[in-house]
Structure 1
């Protein structure tokens, strides 16, 4: 026998799993009012009921207060995983008329000439969207509202199509896996027994829309020998029923795999599951991303003399995507004004450089203001913000060394600056200079011009 504490823990875990997620989904019923106008009425989906009476909803018409029976469990399971701190999903309902699929490749799903009588009656299509999930479900209402304990309409979820990745963010060059699940239960026992036992044939379609253009990526009809359009861009779908119960319900998988995603592949992906006279569709917004690399030159050390401006700084922000949303900030850390301040000076950005892989680069420039001895040891930093980076962004920094605490340090700083000048010009040299009372005057005498002109 299991210990009582273990049994209690298991029982509490089951209660938590069952009661997770919202019990009621608030919706809007959208209908055509004629003349290009739409009307909206409040509606609600009661997914599950606690002990006792149904919660009263005097604000709703009985036909729009819907208690959902979900034989396949897909609708219930989707919201059972919904986080309690997530924003409420957006839900709309509309009336639906069963029709055959318009695509030629899906014509084999409806060989009969007319819609079967089992699909007669009222149909409702529910569309739910949020950052957590996106789904569509076809509901079959019973003919009359139930009078007790409150006026409410019982509905059955017949076909549910959903994804738990409605806004995938894919690193450029990596594979994308666009999740898609669906579940189906024949609307009536007559509809189930009129077909061969086991799950029916279905059609799966993935399309992409971007910048006003759309095209078919993949189409499949598992179980039918129809001629399919060739898949595009290396797309592969895991299109199959997950079970083979004789009379349902059935669950299926239509997940799409795209290899090595490139920027041109971002956009709205429409996934449609076709059953005879029912077409459930969800939309996914795929974005391609690559965070920038950040480097700052000259590095790791910048020399300057008192009263002069340090060399111009260049911050290279390279190979990122998308180009939108980039911000560059210049900071001075550890200067005379405190531990952190915005760097003063002239700032500008270069034009975007486009690379063959679709990424872009640019450089940010800062010409700092003249410095004092108090700036010695301070650090100039270039901080980059981009949608692909954490909130604090990404930064690179260089340390500022200021000669000027003494005349001897002044001379050393100037000699190092001159040496760098000759090294850059490619002239080999060996410089021996003594440091008298005025090193600047001595260097001017040796060089014939002020040493600052060589820095």
Structure 2
């Protein structure tokens, strides 16, 4: 019975996951309009459809209403982890022309002089992006729309590349692991001229940041040739996941970058190269380090009524990046007994740069003169940063008004002076006792009343 319940729960979970996947993806078909301008026309991708006919879309031209045939199951795999309540990804579609890769280290992929005739015809490239998915797919549409109740064009997903980590946020000093999956469906299965098994491919990872870009890693599984050396300790787990004789095939190109630093953030481009076909996706890697927050003077700030307490200094140290940092001053308690914005003059210091790329600054608050009602109030420095939760991180001190808790300032000074005078008197008495002797001690006789004393010189 337990096993049956478990199987039922798994089946329901799978059904929920399948139903959560989008059925139709709305796109924009982008093409050159001349004069350096682009024209955008509505398009749609029908990812899955049961026995029923596709919905009517009179607003779409048949060549831009595509029913996707996905033999490798790459599109279903890409949307398998897509959140149910998340908005649909942004989608663009454009014409694609098969061309050989320009890099010399990829020349082994295209030994023939010209593009094979099997790649002739119309090709489309579809790009999707969202916080949960980055995907690129090369589609091969059929030449004529299908004669269904809704005019629609069948298209096969030939090469699909995607990642589930399009916006990785990596703590500074930790390793970055960027997943990459791809799938390929051969256009001429079981052709006599082709060797069985997955074809060789090329994989490259590049980074672009602040207008600069360079190749981090290049690999060519299945080819013998020289490739550029990897940089910054980068490693890729590049291989086909299966070796079916005639396809389709799925592969992995996950990228590993050790101990990331602020200089390594930016846009990462992952490109999978097959002969005359390329699929590319982008990832935006951000490096984060949460700030440390310390507030001085601490733990107590003393002040007399009508006087201003010492200046509060909030040190926000070793954080990254600089943008998104906010410092707030709060007053908890006080006359109104609630959380409120602290009054006073405030300013920030300039950023200080550390050798590891992290940053520090100090926030200052000069408080106005205090009143007796502010006794026991707490001043807090609250810091907000992209690396922290919505509540941020804070440090606080308590304000003690002299005269309301223990001795006042004047009482303290009086007690100090009294103790000082008493100590001096005791020392004077001790000095006199050592220097004064009775007369009987000098004459060697027992004293009688009255007793005379003689001060003997020392």
Q: TM-score of the superposition, structure 1-length normalised?
A: 0.88
Is 2:233 aligned against 1:243? Answer: no
Quote the residue 2:331 is aligned against: 332
- How large is the RMSD of aligned CA atoms in angstroms? 2.2
CA separation of 1:242 and 1:430: change in aligned 2, threshold 3 A: farther
CA separation of 1:129 and 1:431: change in aligned 2, threshold 3 A: farther
| TM-superposed deviation, 1:109 | 0.3
Q: Say which SS state the counterpart of residue 101 (structure 1) adopts.
A: coil
| TM-superposed deviation, 1:211 | 0.7
| TM-superposed deviation, 1:195 | 1.6
> How many residue pairs were aligned?
422
Distance 1:99 1:362 in 2: 52
Q: Say which SS state the counterpart of residue 244 (structure 1) adopts.
A: coil
| TM-superposed deviation, 1:432 | 4.3
CA separation of 1:20 and 1:408: change in aligned 2, threshold 3 A: closer
| TM-superposed deviation, 1:20 | 2.3
Write the mapping of 1:153-302 to structure 2, written as runs, cut at 5 A.
Answer: 153-189=153-189, 192-302=191-301
CA separation of 1:127 and 1:430: change in aligned 2, threshold 3 A: farther
Q: Could you tell me whether the CA contact under 8 Å between 2:375 and 2:404 is conserved in 1?
A: no
Is 2:82 aligned against 1:71? Answer: no
Quote the residue 2:361 is aligned against: 362
| TM-superposed deviation, 1:209 | 0.5
Distance 2:397 2:406 in 1: 25
Quote the residue 2:28 is aligned against: 28
Q: Could you tell me whether the CA contact under 8 Å between 2:189 and 2:247 is conserved in 1?
A: no
| TM-superposed deviation, 1:407 | 10
Report Cα offsets for 1:203-261 as digits up to 9, x if no partner.
00011111111101011101111101100000000011110000001111111110110
CA separation of 1:58 and 1:367: change in aligned 2, threshold 3 A: same
Report Cα offsets for 1:408-447 as digits up to 9, x if no partner.
534346679xx9xxxxxxxxx996489xxxxxxxxxxxxx
CA separation of 1:39 and 1:130: change in aligned 2, threshold 3 A: same
Distance 1:431 1:351 in 2: 48
Quote the residue 1:453 is aligned against: none
Report Cα offsets for 1:85-136 as digits up to 9, x if no partner.
1122110001111100011100000000011111111111000011010010
Report Cα offsets for 1:175-219 as digits up to 9, x if no partner.
1011111000102336x5432100000000011111111101011
Distance 2:318 2:273 in 1: 41
Quote the residue 1:15 is aligned against: 15
CA separation of 1:430 and 1:251: change in aligned 2, threshold 3 A: farther
Quote the residue 2:399 is aligned against: 400
Write the mapping of 1:417-428 to structure 2, written as runs, cut at 5 A.
Answer: none
Quote the residue 1:311 is aligned against: 310
Report Cα offsets for 1:151-188 as digits up to 9, x if no partner.
10001000000011001111111110111110001023
CA separation of 1:49 and 1:373: change in aligned 2, threshold 3 A: same
Quote the residue 2:140 is aligned against: 140
Distance 1:414 1:250 in 2: 86
Quote the residue 1:451 is aligned against: none
Q: Could you tell me whether the CA contact under 8 Å between 2:176 and 2:257 is conserved in 1?
A: yes
Q: Say which SS state the counterpart of residue 339 (structure 2) adopts.
A: strand
Q: Could you tell me whether the CA contact under 8 Å between 1:382 and 1:395 is conserved in 2?
A: yes
Larger Rg: 2
- Alignment gaps of 5+ in structure 1: 420-428, 435-455
Distance 1:276 1:63 in 2: 26
| TM-superposed deviation, 1:19 | 2.2
Quote the residue 2:83 is aligned against: 83
Distance 2:23 2:405 in 1: 76
